[in-house]
Amino acid sequence: MTAATHSPLFPQVPAVPDSADAVLEGLDPEQREVATALRGPVCVLAGAGTGKTRAITHRIAYGVRSGILQPASVLAVTFTNRAAGEMRGRLRQLGAQGVQARTFHSAALRQLQYFWPKAVGGSLPRLVDRKIQLVADAAAGLGTRLDRGELRDVTGEIEWCKVTQTIPADYPYAAAKAGREAPRDPTEIAHLYAAYEDLKRDRALIDFEDVLLLTVAVLQDRQDIAEQVRAQYQHFVVDEYQDVSPLQQRLLDLWLGDRDDLCVVGDASQTIYSFTGATPDHLLDFRARHPGATVVKLVRDYRSTPQVVRLANGLLAQAHGRAADHRLELVSQRPSGPEPSYTEYTDEPAEAEGAARRIRELIDAGVPAAEIAVLFRTNSQSETYEQALADAGVPYQLRGAERFFDRPEVRKAGLALRGAARFGGNDSRLDDVVDLPSQVRAVLSGQGGWTIQPPAGSGAVRERWESLTALVNLAQDLAAARPEATLADFVAELDERAAAQHAPTVQGVTLASLHAAKGLEWDAVFLVGVAEGMLPITYARTDEQIEEERRLLYVGVTRARERLHVSWSLSRSPGGRHNRKPSRFLDGLRPGTTPTVGRGAGSVGGVERGIRGVDATAVPRRAQRTPARCRVCGRTLTDAGEMKLMRCEDCPSDMDEGLYERLREWRAVQAANSGQPDFCVFTDRTLMAIAENRPDSPAELSRIPGVLSRKLRSYGAEVLAICAGQELDGEIAVD
């Protein structure tokens, strides 16, 4: 499912900017700095809602449209297919087709599939869909019984080992050092991990993490392959850099080689996936590893009202640790809105009923259900809210469960629609329907069992109905955008969306865990269960674990655009002991509590220039290029000839005509003596640029496009002598 949005599924596509400079229009000063900082390395520290995706896509597009970046040489990587798809869509709208935007795993798998026959031989082993069954088989082989929860937890430990590059024998020590709560005895997990790897090898399978591990191995062992990849990709952009694991960082280092043409984007205050091996250290250490880096801080929040932003800033003001030292102080750019509400309930069912009642009121007041979310700490909290919403007659959708296009009812509906598109003339149900939405409703009513009215109650039946309704709504939106669309066009649209995992928006209130809500936003957000033992969670004991729980709440708060409702309950069930307390993270923030001493303001927006000259000799001339601008009117130049002149073709020239003629005469002599055409010495435009700039030193001459280092050595002294008005003695320079 996509992020909630006010626009329809098929919005009016904006016109492609007509020039490189037009790409920059509408960006705020800091976003513009990101877009024009095309010399690597660049680090963008972007707070929640500050338009980071806008900034980096405009950066790539500006680089491509200005001729500095070649589209095929750019690789933009992020962490979800949805984010990668959104990035590709934005780049197309900006006129930057051909740029690769992929997840780390997608990019690695593509390279692995291509190079495997050359590096290893044969075909790549099959990628296992669900490793949990393989873990179960490995446990059975060892005579170990794991219940469903343990099976899931052990699988998570194996995934953590692989992304942190921990081998089975080292797991007990590594887990203890990282402060991980092992679901079984660490030595037993190490044996399970080893058995899992053996079983995978015996069955000729690889898993999700192996894709990265094997790609790293190939690039490390085969210098020729590494050089081939580096020749293809010369400019890298990494989104959500705070979530990079050690293994992903190793792969990125191998892609880069000894270059630093890299732009990273992240926010240490949104690091919430450490249990998967993610660490903000790579983001926080970026300036230390790249002293010449440009650092841009985005703090203008375009998502949330000042009231929501004030709470978000207040949460981080009480934070501790390294990530807190680098926090950003958000500044809302939106009009004022309602203050966040704080509500205490006697028990969880009462809290769920209270949330459902308020949600019903919002919907009745005109707020779309898809613009409302209920966010909780653990998935186990979902059931109570599903029932409460169903009882209130509120449609809902679960996020973070099975992917939309993998749901059985969606797969079955797809087959029925495909059959109807091919053989609809023989289907009596389609005889009396003409428009696309009616055709889709007829097919889904017949074979899918869809009904106009939703079923009573909650659970699987209601969720199945919501899935099919999302397909009906998608057909309505497609027909509105393209009245001539046929059933075959609709099936093609579904296939394209399934390939990109771009699910249609289900018209219901979103129920999601705080982790699953990352990257999304809604008009109204209900943060529920914000109590001690849940936020922070009971098993968060170390200072760093507590701080990650605080960051998790911060992510939840910053999902809200206008309305934010925070609640907690005093007991789990009706009649239970009132032994719960509101989360410590709310102390000093909610009314009636004593303000705590804060850390003061966080970092403000702005730009920090790197220490230029550091490792400058290691940076290829290509990486030193910056956008060419007309020295007369200031417009970005994209035409190669204009870039040599450093001015627009129709802008007034201050060329020294006499100097230009002397240079042409000199060039004719050079060409005749070397037996090559005139342009092989210097092109007319290069000579014009020399005559306009009248350089008086090798450094000034080398800055003129077309004067490469070889030509500077061969002809530089004579060209400078001519520019100085000196007479040459007739000697011809020899290359």
Residue ranges of the annotated binding site for ATP are 46-53
Rounded Cα distance between 702 and 696, Å, is: 11
Crossing angle for the helix pair 436-443 and 408-423, to the nearest 10 degrees = 120
CB atoms within 10 A of CB 461: 13
Q: Where are the alpha helices (DSSP H) in 18-71?
A: 20-23, 29-36, 52-65
84 secondary structure, DSSP code: H
For residues 304-338, one letter each, b for 16 or more C-beta atoms within 10 angstroms of the residue's C-beta and e for the rest, the string is bbbbbbbbbbbbbbbbebebbebbbbbebbbeebe
Write down the residue that tokens 């029925």 correspond to: 416
- CA 270, chain centre distance (Å): 13
Write down the residue that tokens 């990257």 correspond to: 519
Beta bridge mates, 531:
582
Angle at 663 between CA 661 and CA 665, to 5 degrees: 70
Rounded Cα distance between 423 and 273, Å, is: 48
Cα distances from 272 to residues 268, 507, 528, 566, in angstroms, run 9, 28, 18, 20
Q: Identify the three-state secondary structure at position 105.
A: helix
Rounded Cα distance between 545 and 536, Å, is: 9
| Residue type for position 364 | D
Of residues 360, 363, 306, the one with CA closest to residue 333: 306
Contacts of 231 (CB under 8 A, 6+ apart): none
Rounded Cα distance between 373 and 386, Å, is: 12
Total number of residues shown for the chain: 735
Rounded Cα distance between 153 and 169, Å, is: 19
Of residues 77, 35, 602, 686, the one with CA closest to residue 318: 602
Sign of CA dihedral 211, 216, 219, 220: negative
Contacts of 634 (CB under 8 A, 6+ apart): none
For residues 616-632, one letter each, b for 16 or more C-beta atoms within 10 angstroms of the residue's C-beta and e for the rest, the string is eeebeeebebebbbbee
The binding site consists of 46-53
Q: Exposed, middle or buried: residue 675 (CB in 10 Å: 0-12, 13-18, 19+)?
A: exposed
Pairing state between β 396-398 and 42-46 = unpaired
Q: Identify the three-state secondary structure at position 319.
A: coil
Rounded Cα distance between 548 and 274, Å, is: 8
Rounded Cα distance between 389 and 363, Å, is: 12
Rounded Cα distance between 351 and 357, Å, is: 10
Rounded Cα distance between 99 and 101, Å, is: 6
Rounded Cα distance between 186 and 283, Å, is: 31
Pairing state between β 294-298 and 606-608 = antiparallel
Write down the residue that tokens 């004030």 correspond to: 310
Contacts of 404 (CB under 8 A, 6+ apart): 1, 410, 467, 470, 501, 503, 504, 506
Q: Identify the three-state secondary structure at position 681.
A: coil
Q: Helix, strand, coil % (nearest 5) of the chain?
A: 50, 10, 40
